[in-house]
C-alpha cells in the first residue's frame, strides 16, 4: 500500500483515480479544517478525523475479531480434517469439509484482513489530503527577494478556513508539538535532534501493532487455544514490513496509524471483557434461546395443594362421627 502511495504522484493511472476521488478528498479536507477550527492543532484535528474513520470501521473490527477468535477455536477440528483427508487426491474433499466447518461455526479465514483492506482507501485518501495541505509552488524571484520562500497553496480544504490561512502563513509546514507532520524521518530536518521525534513516532506505531497482536494471542492462550506457528510468524513480520512504510510516508499519516491502532486495541479489549468476541458463548447462548422449553408431563402438586385446608379437615371429622 505505501509503495502505491509513494508511486502515486508519478503514475497516470493513479492520477485518473485521483480525479475520481477529488470530491472525497475535498470532503475529508473540509472535515479536517472543521476540526482544526474547533481546536487549532493539526495533530488533534488528524486524531479527531481518525476517530471518525475508525467509528465507521468499528463494525468491521468487531466482525474481524469474532472471526479470528472462531478460527483459533477451530484449529483442533481443522487438524483432524487434515489428518483424515491427506494427499493430493483428497484435497478437494478437504476444502469442501473445511468450508462446511467454517460455515457451521460462522468463521471466515479472511476475516482478520477486513480492517486492513478497509483501511487501504482511507490511507490513500488521507495521504493525498496531507500532501495537498503542504502543497507549495516556487516563490517569484525578484531583486529584493533573490531566494524567496515557497508559496503555500493548500489543496482540498476551504480557502476561507482558519487552517488555510495558517498553512499559507507557515509556507506549507504542518507544525504540531514542535514537529512538521508533512515531513518523514529521513527528510531534511533542521538538526539531527529534530529528526528524533519522527523515529520515535515510527517506533510507537510498530510497538502498538505488536501489542495489538499480543493482546489477541494472550486471549487465545488464556482460553486454551493454540496459535498456529504460521500465524505467529506473520504477526512478527507484518509490523516490521509496516515499519518500512512508516519511513516513507508523512508523519501525519503515521499519526493516523497510531491513533487507529490504539482504537482497535481499545475495541478488542471491550469485546474481550464483555464476551462479545467469544463465538462459543454467543453460539451456546443462541442455542439456549432457540431451544424449546421442556414441559413437565408429570407435574408435582404445589405446596399449597399438599397442605390440607382446615375446613376440609373439619368436614371429614364430622363424617367420621
Task: Taking residues 44-72, report their average pLDDT.
Answer: 83
**CA-based Rg of the chain, rounded to a whole angstrom?**
31
SS3 of 201-257: the string is HHHHHHHHHHHHHHHHHHHHHHCCCCCCHHHHHHHHHHHHHHHHHHHHCCHHHHHHH
For a pLDDT cut of 90, what percent of the chain falls above it? 28
Q: Which residues are CB-neighbours of 277 under 8 A, at least 6 positions away?
A: 62, 65, 66, 69, 219, 268, 271
Q: Which pLDDT score, from 0 to 100, does residue 175 have?
A: 92
- 8 A C-beta contact, residue 167 and residue 45: no
Q: Would the pLDDT of 66 be above 50?
A: yes
Instruction: Give the integer Cα–Cα distance in Å for 15 and 19.
Output: 6
CA 215 vs CA 210, 223, 301: distances in Å: 8, 13, 54
Instruction: Give pLDDT tens digits for 217-244.
Output: 777 666 565 556 666 677 778 888 888 8
HSE (CB half, 13 Å, CA atoms) of 270?
Answer: 9
Range with top average pLDDT, 35-49, 85-99, 216-230, 278-292: 35-49
Cα dihedral 245, 179, 161, 23 in deg (nearest 10): 0
| Three cell numbers written together for 113 | 484482513
State residue 176 phi and psi, 5-degree precision: -150, 125
Angle between helices 114-133 and 251-274 (to 10 degrees): 150
**Closest by CA position to 181, among listed 131, 146, 139, 217:** 131
Q: pLDDT class for 284, splitting at 50, 70, 90?
A: very low
Pick the residue with more confidence: 279 or 67?
Answer: 67
Task: Taking residues 171-182, report their average pLDDT.
Answer: 90
Q: Would the pLDDT of 2 be above 50?
A: no
Q: What is the DSSP letter of 298?
A: S
Pick the residue with more confidence: 124 or 287?
Answer: 124
Query: Which pTM was predicted?
Result: 0.70
Q: pLDDT class for 167, splitting at 50, 70, 90?
A: very high
Q: Within 10 Å of residue 320's Cβ, how many Cβ atoms?
A: 5
Instruction: Give the integer Cα–Cα distance in Å for 31 and 146.
Output: 38
Q: Would the pLDDT of 258 be above 60?
A: yes
Tell me what the pLDDT averaged over the chain comes to. 76
Q: Where are the domains of the chain?
A: 2-137+154-274
**Closest by CA position to 94, among listed 73, 77, 71:** 77
**Closest by CA position to 46, among listed 263, 255, 264, 267:** 255
Lowest mean pLDDT segment, chosen from 163-177, 180-194, 266-280: 266-280
Q: Which pLDDT score, from 0 to 100, does residue 199 have?
A: 95
Residue 85 is inside which H or E element, if any? none
Pick the residue with more confidence: 291 or 52?
Answer: 52
Q: Which pLDDT score, from 0 to 100, does residue 94 have?
A: 83
**Three-state SS at 39:** coil
- 8 A C-beta contact, residue 177 and residue 231: no
Amino acid at each position: 500500500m505505501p509503495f502505491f502511495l509513494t508511486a502515486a504522484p508519478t503514475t497516470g493511472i493513479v492520477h485518473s483515480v485521483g480525479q475520481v476521488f477529488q470530491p472525497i478528498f475535498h470532503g475529508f479536507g473540509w472535515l479536517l479544517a472543521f476540526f482544526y477550527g474547533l481546536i487549532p492543532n493539526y495533530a488533534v484535528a488528524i486524531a479527531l478525523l481518525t476517530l471518525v474513520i475508525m467509528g465507521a470501521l468499528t463494525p468491521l473490527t468487531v466482525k474481524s475479531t469474532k472471526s479470528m477468535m472462531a478460527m483459533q477455536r477451530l484449529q483442533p477440528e481443522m487438524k483432524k480434517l487434515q489428518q483424515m483427508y491427506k494427499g493430493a487426491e483428497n484435497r478437494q474433499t478437504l476444502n469442501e469439509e473445511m468450508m462446511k466447518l467454517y460455515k457451521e461455526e460462522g468463521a471466515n479465514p479472511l476475516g482478520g484482513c477486513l480492517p486492513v483492506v478497509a483501511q487501504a482507501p482511507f490511507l490513500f485518501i488521507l495521504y493525498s489530503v496531507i500532501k495537498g495541505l503542504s502543497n507549495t509552488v516556487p516563490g517569484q524571484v525578484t531583486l529584493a527577494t533573490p531566494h524567496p520562500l515557497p508559496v503555500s497553496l493548500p489543496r482540498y480544504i476551504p480557502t476561507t478556513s482558519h487552517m488555510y490561512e495558517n498553512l499559507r502563513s507557515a509556507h506549507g509546514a504542518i507544525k504540531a508539538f514542535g514537529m512538521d507532520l508533512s515531513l518523514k524521518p529521513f527528510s531534511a530536518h533542521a538538526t539531527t535532534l529534530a529528526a528524533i521525534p519522527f523515529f520515535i513516532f515510527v517506533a510507537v506505531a510498530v510497538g502498538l501493532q505488536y501489542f495489538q497482536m499480543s493482546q489477541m494471542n494472550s486471549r487465545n492462550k488464556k482460553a486454551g487455544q493454540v496459535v498456529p506457528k504460521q500465524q505467529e510468524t506473520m504477526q512478527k513480520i507484518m509490523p516490521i514490513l509496516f515499519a518500512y512504510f512508516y519511513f516513507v510516508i508523512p508523519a501525519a499519516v503515521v499519526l493516523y496509524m497510531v491513533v487507529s491502532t490504539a482504537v482497535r486495541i481499545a475495541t478488542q479489549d471491550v469485546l474481550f471483557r464483555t464476551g462479545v468476541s467469544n463465538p462459543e458463548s454467543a453460539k451456546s447462548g443462541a442455542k439456549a434461546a432457540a431451544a424449546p422449553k421442556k414441559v413437565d408431563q408429570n407435574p408435582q402438586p404445589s405446596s399449597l395443594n399438599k397442605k390440607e385446608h382446615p375446613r376440609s379437615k373439619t368436614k371429614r371429622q364430622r363424617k367420621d362421627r
